[in-house]
Structure 1
Amino acid sequence: MKFKLFLAMILAVALLAACAVNDDENGEGENDSDVVTAASFVDTPEEFALSTSENGTWIVIPNGDLTIEEEVVVEGTFYNNDDEDSDLYRKIAAYTQDDDRNIIDQWTITVPQLTIQSENTNFHGGILDGDIYVEANGFLLHETSTVEGDLIFANEEYEASADVAGTVNGEIVVE
């Protein structure tokens, strides 16, 4: 519970900072931020797609199961905890956890295809009911995750750089 409260506070501060406006000589505002980069808690397919876009967030956290009718693309350049001095990193955290980081609930994301274009994307703790198509280096299917579909790599380089520790109940192939 403390972790959820902490994340909610961070999100609120980030949203307030993103809304900061500087007035120019004419009194017209200019937005200081192009992207809100706090954790993104999502409830709808539209929020999920927006959060995984190039203008989305480094971590996407569904609040429950999601069914998405169209392909979703995870794209853009993001860093672990939004720290540009750290490694490139993107995370889909399809679970809830307790204060000791033990997974409590796992969510199912149903989508025809999840295309990974962000380097070092980590699908963690949930079930992806559909195919994952990888077009970037460093994909991680965490050991707590399951793909109920195929895991397809666009080339051998992407496959060689991937860490598939989770379960894939379809085929793992390279195109």
Structure 2
Amino acid sequence: MIGPHLRELRQKRNLTLKQLAELTGLSTGLLSQVERSIHDPSLETLRRLAKTLEVPLFSLFAEDDVQQVAVVRRERRMKVGSPHGGIGYTRLSPGSGRLELLEGRLEPGAASSEEPWSHPSEECVLAQAGELLVEVGDSRIRLEPGDSCYFDSRVPHRFINPGTDTATFLVSVTPPSY
């Protein structure tokens, strides 16, 4: 699903594979494999592509069917994870609106990214199970199940699981971003 849509986005911007590779810092070979659906991109690769192409990350999973009311069945949810393990996201919203709802799973000791990062959105995170440490700028907020936290995503941020159990959480992002 990602490959053909990525090719379409790249071509609409009149970019060659080599130009996109230079802009993202990814190899031409990797991008070619992703476009031909030979390789599934990692979360970091998707973030780089979305940021460079200026599209929400989950929009790379093309869904052109915009409806007034949308149902996302459990078995048809979009999922993305890190190749190193530790973090995984499942999109609960349809991906065609101005709000994105994600379910996150973070393994003990894992972080959502190596370094805090930013994007032009607002987020609200709700801890469901385990412990979740939310780093936003210089702030470190510890959330337990039922606790929530809102922040401006333009401030570098990330999620960390300092506990010994898997942390699960919901994240609402508006507008959807990379």
Smaller-chain TM-score range? 0.3 to 0.5
The higher relative CO (CA closer than 8 Å, separation ≥ 6) is in 2
More strand by share: 1
Using structure 2 for the length normalisation, give the TM-score: 0.34
Q: Tell me which protein shows more helix as a share of its residues.
A: 2
Larger Rg: 1
TM-score using structure 1 length: 0.35
